[in-house]
Amino acid sequence: MSLWEYANPQKFTRTASALLPYVGGLAALCLAVGLGWGFFLTPEAANFGSTVKIIYIHVPAALMAINAWLMMLVASLIWLVRRHHVSALAARAAAPIGLTMTLIALVTGAIWGEPMWGTYWAWDPRLTSFLILFLFYLGYIALWEAIENPDAAADLTSVLCLVGSVFAVLSRYAVNFWNQGLHQGASLSLDKEENVADVYYQPLLLCIAGFVLLFVALVLLRTRTEIRARRLKALIARERMG
Amino acid sequence: MELAVSDLACARGGVPVLEGVNFTLAGGEALLLRGPNGIGKTTLLRTLAGLQPALAGSVSVPPEAMAYAAHADGLKATLSVAENLRFWARIFGTSGIDAALEGFNLVELADRQAHNLSAGQKRRLGLARLLVTGRPIWVLDEPTVSLDLASVALFGDAVRRHLDGGGAALIATHIDLGFTARELDVTAFRAAPRRLDAFDEAFA
Amino acid sequence: MIALLVRDLTLAIRAGGGFGLGLAFFLIVVVLVPFGVGPEGEILSAIAPGILWVGALLSCLLSLDRIFALDFEDGSLDLLATAPIPLEAVVAMKAVAHWLTTGLPLTLAAPVLGLLMNLDPAGYSWLVASLALGTPALSMIGAFGAALTVGLKRGGLLLSLLVLPLYVPTLIFGAETVGRGADGMATATPMLMLAGITLATLALLPFAAAAAIRINLR
């Protein structure tokens, strides 16, 4: 029993269909409890007011925006090395989700930034990095859409994902160098003591778990859709050949 | 110096067109590929030239032995005939373009810019490129398109001289080139239409 | 390899366009900016490093799609791929030819345009140095983008979308060098970063670009 068995499209589709209700349900549960807890049952912070509660969407979305790209990078590498089509389609499926997460992080950030910093947008390193990440997602998706041959598209987007990852990291450092911004440090980290206070921390973890599960569910769903679309194409081609 | 193809399968746009292709081509030999339009001759030649991967099977050929010429001649309109040829001679590390100019009756046109050539003259220049590559195995895709009868004869002579010199030629063509050669009808290797690539097969 | 470089340069010179168009575009960008932001010398000198770098970057972008598209259309790319020169070298040479026809003239013309933008006198040497060091990276990254989109009918806009985010680090360090130089601050860090980016792209991207071309040819 090897993990690569799931690279078989049929097996993947069956497994994904079986898993989807559970993952989706668990995601809904985590998000409902986490967001409810975070929005209604936590005290208002003295210096931030109620606006701080947007972190329950902002932080998980920002995390997933980056992790979606990492997942695409891994899936692209698997496609380039092992030529499993499902892997390429999973990378393709994850891109619009990552794009949406980036957009959510940017928009919630802007909404939060207005009362906090008095502006919707500032050319702060973190904000700027996310804007660049947004452009990377757009380019990646546009390249997938532009190329007709699915294998060539998978190859070229994988190469772009690899090169883009290097440049994304480079941009992150360049932007840091360019402007030391006003964004606070990471909200979560394992080695730092000054994390957000515990009352906010627990629902936040739950929300992050919810977003991760939501991402997994959406990737499973969209990959299944991509596989079916590809199969449809294959069947149409077969029909034409008589 | 031999080109040996065994059990080769190749695809166009993800759809297999030919499979089980077998043949060998030794020095001094020419092989004419026949078959109707769209059967996959171009795909086969591109696969042999290494421009696209084979689905299955193997091609054994000495390294850097093949010279490929396709429908497009790879000419630069603003370069003269001689400059175009000299460029390819330098790329292939050979010297002297005079034999190529003479072989395809291009001496008088040597200083003319390529965009002032007729379609047939361009084609002749494209074929003259084969002579400056110095490579023994010619892989040609419809080399006689837009050539007049005299030029076809010129091309036939060039191929014959190439074969006499120990070279080999694999030519996809529909017309009679004025010399006798083995023929291979690729229709026999047509891939079964129901088979798509392995990935799509796994779906159905 | 040298033959390829010579041919590309000859083609660029004979076809016109190559040198002139990018430079003219650079001039247009720089001339338009003062009309947009007003003629005050102080504002102009404050934004000069950025505008000059953005202008150079956009001019570079203008001619990127021609790096491989012409050779793809007339079949030369097929023939080059079957030639004894490795495709990686072909890509590198094409990038060098692109730099010689766009990056180098831009670098040489930049001081004149710096004058128009009221650039601080201390910034001129840094402007030329940073462009000389950074524009090769722009050409190489652009060649990679062009390789990705070479098979596409309307690849121009997509090419810009793919390449622009990749240009961000080069632009930041390039403009930062000029800005710091003009303000009389230390420029070693951004200069070294710029040099690092250029050397790394020249060393690694030819492989990625050649892989992309092989995929597009099959």
Q: Identify whether A17 is part of a domain.
A: no
Best mutation target, B45, B66, B78, B129, to test chain C (most C CBs within 10 A): B78
C118 touches chain B (CB under 8 A): no
Q: Is residue A201 part of a domain?
A: no
A227: closest CA of chain B, how far (Å): 8
Q: Is the pLDDT of residue A181 over 60?
A: no
Please write the tens of the pLDDT for every residue from B9-20: 888 877 788 888
Strand partners, A18: none
pLDDT score at A190? 43
State the average pLDDT for chain A: 85
Looking at the 3D structure of chain A, how many domains does it have?
1
Mean pLDDT of B1-6: 84
Contact status, residue A88 vs residue A62, Cβ threshold 8 Å: no
- Greater confidence, B91 or A242? B91
pLDDT reported for residue B34? 87
Quick one: three-class SS letters along chain C?
CHHHHHHHHHHHHHCCCHHHHHHHHHHHHHHHHHHHHCCCHHHHHHHHHHHHHHHHHHHHHHCCCHHHHHHHHCCHHHHHHCCCCCHHHHHHHHHHHHHHHHHHHHHHHHHHHHHHCCCCHHHHHHHHHHHHHHHHHHHHHHHHHHHHCCCCCCCHHHHHHHHHHHHHHHHHHHHHHHHHHHCCCCCHHHHHHHHHHHHHHHHHHHHHHHHHHHHHHC
**In angstroms, rounded to a whole number, what is the distance separating the alpha carbons of residues A52 and A63?**
17
Q: What is the pLDDT of residue A218?
A: 95
For the cut 90, the answer to whether the pLDDT of residue A99 exceeds it is yes
Please, what is the average pLDDT of chain C? 89
Q: How far apart are CA A72 and CA A89, in angstroms?
A: 10
**Nearest CB to C82 within list B51, B87, B93:** B51
What's the pLDDT score for residue B74? Answer: 83
Please determine, for residue A193, whether its predicted confidence score (pLDDT) is greater than 50. no
The pLDDT of residue B196 is above 60: no
pLDDT score, position A182: 54
Q: Identify whether A215 is part of a domain.
A: yes
Asked whether residue A13 is domain-assigned, the answer is no
- Number of structural domains in chain C: 1
What residue ranges in A66-207 does DSSP mark as E strands? none
Contact C149/A159 with Cβ under 8 angstroms?
A: no
Which residue on chain B is closest to A14 by alpha carbon?
B203
Residues of A (154-183) whose Cβ lies below 8 Å from C? 155-156, 159-160, 162-164, 167-168, 170-171, 173-175, 177-178
**What's residue A192's pLDDT?**
42
Give the ipTM of the model, two decimals please.
0.89
Cβ-Cβ contacts under 8 Å, A168 against chain C: 165
Question: What pLDDT does B97 receive?
Answer: 84
Does the residue A14 lie in any domain? no
CB contact under 8 A, B91 and C84: yes
**Residue A163: CA count within 13 A, CB half-sphere:** 31
Residues 6 or more apart from A113 whose CB is under 8 A from it?
A: A119, A120, A121, A122
B200 touches chain A (CB under 8 A): yes
Domain limits for position C60: 2-217
User: By the CB < 8 Å criterion, does B93 face chain A?
Assistant: no
Kind and range of the H or E run holding A55? helix A55-82
Q: Which residue has the higher pLDDT, A5 or C77?
A: C77
Q: Is residue A193 part of a domain?
A: no
- Asked whether the predicted pLDDT for residue C53 surpasses 70, the reply is yes
Looking at residue C9, its pLDDT comes to 83
Chain A residues whose CB is inside 8 A of the B200 CB are 230-231, 233-234, 237
**Percent of chain A at pLDDT above 90?**
48
Model pLDDT, residue A233: 81
The contact set of B with C (CB < 8 A) is 46, 49-53, 64, 66-76, 78-79, 83, 87-88, 90-93, 129
- Chain C 121-140, residues with CB within 8 Å of chain B CB atoms: none
Q: Do B53 and C218 touch (CB under 8 A)?
A: yes
Residue A188 within any structural domain of the chain: no
Nearest by CB: A159 against C152, C190, C212: C212
Residue A217 pLDDT: 95
Using the Cβ of A41 and the Cβ atoms of chain B, whether some distance falls under 8 Å is answered with no
Beta partners for residue B59, in sequence order: B5
The whole-number pLDDT of residue B204 equals 42
| pLDDT of the residue at B16 | 82
Of residues A106 and B100, the one with the higher pLDDT is: A106
Does residue B200 have a pLDDT over 80?
A: no
Residues C110-128 have pLDDT tens digits of 999 999 888 888 889 999 9
User: H/E element holding B25?
Assistant: strand B15-26
What is the structure's pLDDT at A45? Answer: 62
**What residue numbers bound the domain in which A135 lies?**
22-40+51-181+206-241
What is the pLDDT of chain B when averaged over all its residues?
Answer: 84
Q: In chain B, which residue's Cα lies nearest the Cα of C74?
A: B74
A-to-C residue pairs, Cβ atoms closer than 8 angstroms: 74
pLDDT band at A191 (very low <50, low <70, confident <90, very high): very low
Please check the confidence at residue B194 and state whether its pLDDT lies above 60: no
Q: Neighbours of B (≥3 Cβ pairs closer than 8 A)?
A: A, C
Q: What is the pLDDT of residue A95?
A: 95
pLDDT for residue B40 is more than 60: yes
pLDDT score of A196: 60
pLDDT given for residue A48 in this prediction: 61
Alpha-carbon distance of B155 to B151, in angstroms, equals: 6
* pLDDT higher than threshold 70 for residue A9: yes
Local confidence band at B1 (pLDDT 50, 70, 90 cut-offs): low
CB contact under 8 Å between B203 and A234, yes or no, is yes
Q: Does the beta-carbon distance from C75 to B78 stay under 8 Å?
A: no
pLDDT at B38 over 80: yes
pLDDT band at A186 (very low <50, low <70, confident <90, very high): low
Chain B contact for C4, CB < 8 A?
A: yes
Q: Report in angstroms the alpha-carbon separations of A70 from A107, A207, B195.
A: 22, 20, 36
pLDDT at C17: 57
User: Per-residue pLDDT averaged across A231-238, rounded?
Assistant: 79
Is residue A157 within 8 Å of A92, Cβ to Cβ?
yes
Cα(A181)–Cα(B96) distance, integer angstroms: 64
Whether the pLDDT of residue C75 is over 90: the answer is: no
The answer to whether residue A187 scores a pLDDT higher than 60 is no
User: Is A9 part of a structural domain of the chain?
Assistant: no
Q: Using the beta-carbon criterion (under 8 Å), do A234 and B200 form an inter-chain contact?
A: yes
Checking if the pLDDT of C146 tops 70, the result is yes
Beta bridge partners of B15: B12
Residue C103 pLDDT more than 50? yes
Measured CA to CA, the distance from residue B102 to residue B161 in angstroms comes to: 13
Task: Tell me how far apart the alpha carbons of residues B60 and B117 are, in angstroms, rounded to a whole number.
Answer: 38
